[in-house]
Amino acid sequence: MDLSDKEWKKKLTREQYNVLRRRGTERPFSGELLENRANGEYACAGCGSVVFDSSTKYDSTTPGLIGWPSFSDAVSRDAVQLLGDSSLGMQRTEVLCSRCGGHLGHLFRDDSSSNGLHYCINSCALEFSEGDKSAGPESESSLEPSDGIGR
């Protein structure tokens, strides 16, 4: 998806543009999908590509990682791209939508996750479609986060 900056600004809300295109972070506990418990799929708000499934959504108990939707895995290996991120003086792993390159959040280690992985994702970067559309991720992820905590 190759849109100009002007086209992205027109397509997205101000907050979505700040997060998806400028790599911002929404305020903790402010996202409408944080408490969502319905079955369904989570797509990138920028392009509509499905990136997460409700079967991997969980409530993290790790300080510094709560306040944003948490997933233990992406819907498939190809759904997201992981990049090293050394901004804000820490080593993190940035999670991008593979289709449009939109910033979704970060990947961390998290003992409260079923597989030790924590996709800490901005709610405004996602759109939710309710329904039993998938049986979960294609396969167990072998993607590894960089060491670091926080957003």
pLDDT tens for each residue of the chain, 151 residues long: 789 999 999 999 999 999 999 999 999 999 999 999 999 999 999 999 999 999 999 999 998 889 999 999 999 999 999 999 888 788 899 999 999 999 999 999 999 999 999 999 999 999 999 986 544 454 444 455 554 434 4
| 135 assigned to some structural domain | no
| 79 assigned to some structural domain | yes
Specify the CATH number for the domain of residue 60: 2.170.150.20
| 42 assigned to some structural domain | yes
| 110 assigned to some structural domain | yes
CA-CA distance, 118 to 27, in Å (whole number)? 18
Number of domains in the chain: 1
44: Cα within 13 Å, side-chain hemisphere: 27
List the catalytic residue out of 44, 97, 100, 120: 120
| 98 assigned to some structural domain | yes
| 150 assigned to some structural domain | no
Single out the residue of 104, 106, 117 nearest to residue 58, CA to CA.
Answer: 117
Active site residue 47: no
| 116 assigned to some structural domain | yes
Owning domain of residue 115 = 5-28+37-130
| 148 assigned to some structural domain | no
| Model pLDDT, residue 145 | 56
In DSSP notation, 109-149 reads: E-TTSSSSEEEEE-GGGEEEEES---SS-SS-----PPS--
| Model pLDDT, residue 86 | 85
